[in-house]
């Protein structure tokens, strides 16, 4: 590049022609308008060319103004981007602003339709202005025994009649074997496809039959050693925090997570993570990425994925954090390999139970190890197909169930314990009465046995009332496997239709369960209620064949840590504790509010 006498850079003809063919127009602003010249130069195809040119008339610098003429690739990219924008706009319009048609068979069989979109639109749900709890409550208060609702272009049937629910979940279970998946799984090779909660039909029946011996009372009793050892370490950590000032204020959910993460690590992964002493271990960080709902993207994905699974599959959006998931899968695979090679001693943990089940070393489920609800489910159960357990409980399946056990335990148990601790803090009379019941059950070393926890009736009632107020699932959902007709109620359900039991709405229906304003009145009322209606849909879920197989472990684990808490601390609200508690509802799950604070004061 040369310069003229004034020192300005001057492009030679060769330099101009060597640039990509991307023309620009340069106007010389110093000349009178009538005498202005347009000098044609070339500029790079992408990005503005910053070189200046020299006017041949006066030798002064001329400022450039480049007008790009995009290449074919850039043009195609622009068109593709425009098309994508149009598709997204159309998708948003279709999903949130159009009302799908209801199926004709609703009218033919007398199923009334309720349209909640006039009050609670899909866009309100998307923006978080309303939740699925608001929507179900709106429909529930208007419906009869059952009704039809078009939800995200899919027809669903909501139930209100408890007798119909029992038929759907237990008596006529063979029509409603499968659940609606909580979230789509894009990667078909993912371990999530092998979750017992995800598989369907005969595959589920065989897997469930193979897993059942691992969840009997005797096997759960063996895992109490982990609940006690971790619980005592956790209690000691809290005591040390309160030592200096006589009490300590805690972020409840974060503190509960320290216990949950460590107890799951020891009872599933056979490892000690040190999370109780250091809540920021790599294990805890990865667990938070999988189970917490702190990020906006997590909330959006969890809220929308059950309603628009095809959209997520089409766009390849995974709900779970794949990096964190791979972290735990890798650990579990390494642990399983070491156990199978005999490189580590046997432990009383979940993965070892599954290995023993595969080898046939666990005794079959016997009535002496079944509680009342399990016996009822077994009597009304289905006929399972027989298959070699070694072919069912493959390495991948064992790893998958271990991951599921971790996920369900981390999110569900932590939320439940947080809610229960809050309720006890806000009702000192209930807390004191519970403490009186727990004291005799705690041994000198601070531990508590499975049998003692299971035989504390007031603790059971407190847990029941917390589950009523904050059920573990906002809904129970079942997919109709074959056309169904109930002659008594007149309900007709076509194949592939989703049947929904609005758990939260039922649990807060004052006409059904006579809710009192005071927690202790509700707990006292439990004594006179029929056991089968105690938790309503939660108990129906327990007794139905397709229940949560780990629910009893989760309940015992939760009750044990609550017993440890009330035995060692007085739990009180602080000036920051909200009243009433506003839970977060994300997807089909309840979560405690962020930054919930309580005060713990050691008793001894």
Phi, psi at 375, each rounded to 5°: -65, -40
Kindly state the average pLDDT of the residues 48-62: 48
Does residue 294 sit in helix, strand or coil?
coil
Could you list the residue range(s) of the whole structural domain that residue 304 is in? 191-602
**Residue found by looking up tokens 């300005």 in the block:** 8
Within-domain flag for 78: no
The pLDDT value recorded for residue 9 is 40
**Domain identity same for 365 and 504:** yes
CA dist., res. 226 & res. 232, Å (int)? 10
Summarised one tens digit per residue, pLDDT across range 457-473 is 899 889 888 888 888 88
Within-domain flag for 98: no
Within-domain flag for 442: yes
Does residue 381 sit in helix, strand or coil?
coil
- Six-digit token string for 506: 């039922």
The pLDDT value recorded for residue 49 is 43
CA dist., res. 504 & res. 134, Å (int)? 10
The better pLDDT of the pair 494, 547 is held by 494
The pLDDT value recorded for residue 387 is 54
With 90 as the cut, is the pLDDT of residue 564 above it? yes
The pLDDT value recorded for residue 12 is 44
- Spatial neighbors of 145 by CB under 8 A, at least 6 apart, are 159, 160, 161, 164, 489, 491
Within-domain flag for 583: yes
Summarised one tens digit per residue, pLDDT across range 349-376 is 888 888 888 887 766 544 445 443 344 3
Kindly state the average pLDDT of the residues 164-187: 82
The pLDDT value recorded for residue 452 is 92
Within-domain flag for 459: yes
Of 73-77, 151-155, 515-519, 599-603, which gets the smallest average pLDDT? 515-519
With 50 as the cut, is the pLDDT of residue 379 above it? no
Within-domain flag for 171: no
**Domain identity same for 198 and 344:** yes
Length of the chain: 604
Domain count, the chain: 2
The answer to whether 469 and 505 are in contact (CB under 8 A) is no
Of 364-368, 464-468, 492-496, 512-516, which gets the smallest average pLDDT? 364-368
The better pLDDT of the pair 67, 90 is held by 90
Using the 3D structure, point to which of 62, 80, 105 is the last residue of a domain: 62
548 is in an annotated binding site: yes
Q: At 110, is the pLDDT very low, low, confident or very high (cuts 50, 70, 90)?
A: confident
The pLDDT value recorded for residue 508 is 86
Bridge-based pairing of strands 154-159 and 498-501 is parallel
Q: At 139, is the pLDDT very low, low, confident or very high (cuts 50, 70, 90)?
A: very high
Q: Before 559, cis peptide (omega within 30)?
A: no
Using the 3D structure, point to which of 32, 62, 92 is the last residue of a domain: 62
Out of 168-172, 354-358, 437-441, give the one with best mean pLDDT: 437-441
The pLDDT value recorded for residue 136 is 92
Does residue 373 sit in helix, strand or coil?
helix
The answer to whether 121 and 151 are in contact (CB under 8 A) is no
**Residue found by looking up tokens 């649990």 in the block:** 507
CA dist., res. 59 & res. 527, Å (int)? 101
Within-domain flag for 151: no
Using the 3D structure, point to which of 44, 62, 80 is the last residue of a domain: 62
The pLDDT value recorded for residue 562 is 95
Out of 5-14, 207-216, 263-272, give the one with best mean pLDDT: 263-272
Within-domain flag for 115: no
Summarised one tens digit per residue, pLDDT across range 579-591 is 888 888 887 888 8
The better pLDDT of the pair 325, 535 is held by 325
Rg of the chain's alpha carbons, rounded to an integer?
Answer: 32
Q: At 141, is the pLDDT very low, low, confident or very high (cuts 50, 70, 90)?
A: very high
CA dist., res. 215 & res. 25, Å (int)? 78
Domain with residue 598: its CATH number is 1.10.630.10
Summarised one tens digit per residue, pLDDT across range 185-223 is 767 778 888 888 777 888 888 888 888 777 778 888 888
């Amino acid at each position: 590049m040369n310069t003229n006498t004034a020192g300005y850079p001057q492009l030679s003809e060769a330099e101009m022609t060597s640039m990509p063919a991307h023309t620009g127009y340069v106007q010389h602003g110093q000349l009178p308008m009538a005498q202005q010249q347009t000098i044609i130069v070339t500029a790079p195809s992408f990005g503005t060319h910053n070189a200046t040119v020299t006017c041949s008339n006066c030798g002064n610098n001329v400022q450039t103004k480049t007008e790009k003429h995009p290449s074919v690739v850039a043009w195609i990219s622009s068109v593709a981007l425009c098309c994508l924008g149009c598709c997204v706009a159309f998708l948003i319009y279709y999903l949130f602003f159009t009302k799908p048609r209801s199926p004709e068979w609703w009218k033919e069989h007398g199923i009334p339709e309720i349209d909640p979109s006039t009050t609670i639109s899909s866009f309100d749900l998307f923006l978080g202005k309303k939740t699925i709890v608001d929507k179900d409550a709106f429909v529930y208060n208007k419906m009869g025994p059952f009704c039809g609702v078009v939800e995200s272009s899919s027809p669903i049937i909501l139930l209100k009649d408890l007798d119909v629910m029992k038929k759907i979940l237990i008596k006529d279970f063979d029509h409603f074997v499968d659940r609606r998946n909580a979230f789509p799984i894009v990667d078909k090779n993912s371990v999530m496809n092998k979750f017992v909660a995800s598989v369907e039909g005969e595959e589920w029946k065989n897997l469930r039959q193979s897993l059942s011996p691992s969840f009997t009372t005797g096997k759960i009793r063996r895992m109490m050693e982990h609940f006690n050892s971790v619980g005592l370490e956790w209690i000691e950590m809290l005591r040390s925090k309160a030592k200096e000032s006589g009490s300590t204020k805690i972020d409840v959910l974060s503190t509960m997570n320290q216990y949950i993460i460590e107890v799951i690590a020891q009872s599933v992964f056979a490892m000690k993570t040190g999370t109780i002493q250091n809540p920021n271990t790599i294990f805890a960080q990865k667990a938070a990425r999988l189970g917490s709902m702190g990020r906006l993207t997590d909330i959006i994905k969890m809220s929308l994925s059950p309603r628009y699974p095809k959209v997520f599959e089409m766009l390849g959006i995974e709900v779970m954090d794949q990096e964190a998931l791979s972290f735990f899968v890798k650990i579990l695979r390494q642990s399983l390999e070491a156990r199978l090679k005999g490189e580590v001693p046997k432990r009383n943990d979940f993965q070892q139970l599954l290995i023993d089940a595969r080898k046939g070393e666990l005794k079959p489920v016997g009535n002496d190890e079944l509680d009342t609800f399990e016996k009822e489910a077994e009597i009304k159960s289905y006929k399972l197909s027989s298959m070699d357990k070694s072919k069912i409980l493959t390495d991948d399946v064992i790893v998958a169930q271990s991951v599921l056990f971790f996920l369900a335990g981390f999110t569900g148990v932590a939320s439940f314990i947080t809610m229960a601790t809050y309720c006890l803090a806000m009702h000192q009379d209930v807390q004191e009465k519970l403490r009186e019941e727990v004291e005799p059950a705690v041994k000198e070393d601070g531990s508590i046995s499975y049998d003692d926890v299971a035989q504390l009736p007031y603790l059971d009632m407190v847990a029941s009332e917390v589950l009523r107020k904050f059920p573990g699932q906002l809904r129970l959902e079942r997919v109709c496997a074959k056309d169904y007709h109930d002659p008594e109620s007149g309900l007709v359900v076509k194949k592939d239709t989703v049947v929904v039991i609005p758990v939260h709405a039922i649990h807060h229906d004052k006409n059904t369960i006579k809710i009192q304003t005071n927690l202790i009145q509700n707990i006292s009322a439990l004594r006179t209620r029929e056991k089968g209606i105690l938790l309503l849909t939660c108990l129906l879920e327990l007794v139905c064949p397709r229940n949560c197989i780990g629910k009893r472990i989760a309940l015992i684990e939760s009750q044990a840590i609550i017993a440890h808490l009330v035995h060692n601390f007085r739990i009180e609200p602080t000036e920051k504790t909200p009243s009433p508690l506003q839970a977060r509802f994300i997807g089909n799950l309840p979560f405690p509010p962020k930054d919930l604070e309580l005060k713990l004061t050691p008793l001894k």
